[in-house]
Structure 1
Amino acid sequence: MTIAIITGAAQGIGKAIALRLARDGIDVALCDLQIQQTLLENTKANIEALGRKSIILMGDISSSIFIETVISETVSRLGPLDIMIANAGIAGTYSKISTHSLDVFDKLVQTNIRGTFLCYQHAANQMVKQGGKGVIVGAGSVTGQQALHGYPVYGMTKAAIRALTQYTAQEFGKQGIRCNSYCPASVETEMVMKSFATIAQATKTPLEDLRASYSGINGGMCTPEDVANLVSWLCSDESSFLTGQSVTIDGGYLMKHNL
């Protein structure tokens, strides 16, 4: 039996990953904030309809105690931990460095960097405790690979996840633990659409023009299911020789902007 934990699992990319892993035959622990309980219960029902087991754990990923509880509860109720998907994160607000709010800065660092670090740390230690082997996957972004206008601190946090992924792969590789991250461009989620609306208002850019500028070479945007398909592969034996990598999934978005 394979067991996975997914943070930020109530909706968007996290939900898509949860459903995809369930279809892969994996039992899933779903984690998100208390305010997402209704959405989490819906995701759990969908997973159980696929014939897999699922549990819900609610709290703040920036709390070490919560992440320790998530792992201990998952192991107790589902079985040994095989996969950690540190998906939870926030985008912050459209801004410049010169005017960026320190309160927003602190929240981004707490959630995106500290939260991901805790997931990596405690999951890796649990996998070692179990005898080694396992997969850890984090939520990166193209903004952590190339500076994009309007989200400097968000991009900084995603660059930190890229480095953290490399260090984790380096430290735990000999125990058979692989660590990679997925790095999408804009994904069609509620969070991203809200960000687009903010940017459109701030820059006085028509929303459709903005969407087009963030699209890939083929003119489309990444979907949560596109990311889930990549994560499924990163968790599978087919990617057994891949570790320490931040894999871009952007439809050629970065290449388009470098042509």
Structure 2
Amino acid sequence: MTTTDPTTFPVLDEKVVIVTGAAMGMGEATARLFAEAGARVVVADFNEEKGRAVAESIGEAARFVKVDISKADQVEAMVAQTVEAFGRLDGAVNNAALTPDDKLASEFDEDYWDRLMAVDLKGTALSMKYELRQLLAQGDGGSIVNISSVSGFRPQPENIAYVAAKHGVVGMTKVAAMENGPHGIRVNSVAPGAIDTPMLRGALEQFGFDPAEYAPQLSLLNRFGQPREIAQASLWLVSDLSSYVTGTTLHVDAGYTSR
């Protein structure tokens, strides 16, 4: 696996970025990589113990904010606390999401449907809403990345709520890009494939799949991706190196959606 030194390519020198769902997995990897690249990072998560530990381990470049992104007042407060701590906002990675559901379309659990939609779809929309308001008020552009999934392009059985939500993330990313491009604000999404996170491991266990045997079915590279590899994609999209990219989805899936 090859990696890039974020201290030289690309650099987010002094940019202020919110990362939701940053207490673990891809969100944690993103917060850490962004701090390495020179950003000041808000580690936003509902899990206070783990989120605070991540922020403290990063150091002065990070602040923890507890937030339930399904609650508008808490999301608005998250953005306000970001500006209070660091003086402005330059970008965001809206990563927070719940574990995929595991029911057939004819049997889905309505309570979990509502909770997943509240977080994965509405929560992402609320995060964009208040991030965009701040970026528009500042008047000097910015970049937002929404984390979708390969399930937003290649549906899986027994994931009806998650698949619907991730399709929705792709759609509303395009709408936000259309509306805010004239203001210099870019909005894109990243669609991770099989990334080795607690969420993926839990889902494989839930369905009774052996990770070692299942990886080749999900990846042309015959392995799971690492959270940092998703973080690198988000880093590029938030940075000025992707200055002519908006309204698109970057697939980081080892070719899964290409076959």
With normalisation by structure 1, the TM-score equals 0.91
Matches within 5 A, 1:86-125: 86-125=94-133
Q: Which residue of 2 aligns with 1:134?
A: 142
Are 1:4 and 2:17 counterparts? Answer: yes
Counterpart for residue 51 of structure 2: 40
Q: Contact 2:101–2:160 at 8 Å: present in 1 too?
A: no
Q: Are 1:18 and 2:31 counterparts?
A: yes
Equivalent residue runs for 1:1-259 within 5 Å: 1-33=14-46, 36-48=47-59, 52-200=60-208, 205-214=209-218, 216-255=219-258, 258=259
Amino acid at match of 2:83: V
SS at match of 1:29: strand
Conserved 8 A contact 1:196-1:211: no
Q: Alpha-carbon deviation of 1:213?
A: 2.3
TM-score by length of 2: 0.91
Residue 206 of structure 1 and its aligned partner are, at CA, apart by 4.5
The count of corresponding residues between Structure 1 and Structure 2 is: 246
Structure 1 residue 207: Cα displacement: 4.8
Q: Which amino acid aligns with 2:216?
A: A
The alpha-carbon deviation at position 114 of structure 1 amounts to 0.5
2:44 aligned counterpart, secondary structure: strand
Residue 99 of structure 1 aligns to a residue whose secondary structure is coil
Query: Which secondary structure does the structure 2 equivalent of 1:80 belong to?
Result: coil
Q: Percent identity?
A: 28
Shift of 1:15: 0.4
The answer (yes or no) to whether the contact 1:92–1:104 under 8 Å persists in 2 is no
Q: 1-side partners of 2:250 and 2:167: how far apart?
A: 13
C-alpha distance in 1, partners of 2:210/2:200? 16
| Aligned partner letter, 2:213 | D
Deviation of the 1:2 alpha carbon: 1.2
Contact 1:116 1:161 in 2 (8 A): yes
Q: Give RMSD over aligned pairs.
A: 1.3
Secondary structure (helix, strand or coil) at the match of 1:164 reads: helix
Q: Distance in 1 between matches of 2:164 and 2:22?
A: 23
Is contact 2:42-2:65 (8 Å) kept?
yes
Structure 1 ranges of 4+ moved more than 3 A: 205-208
CA contact (8 A) 2:136 2:183 kept: yes
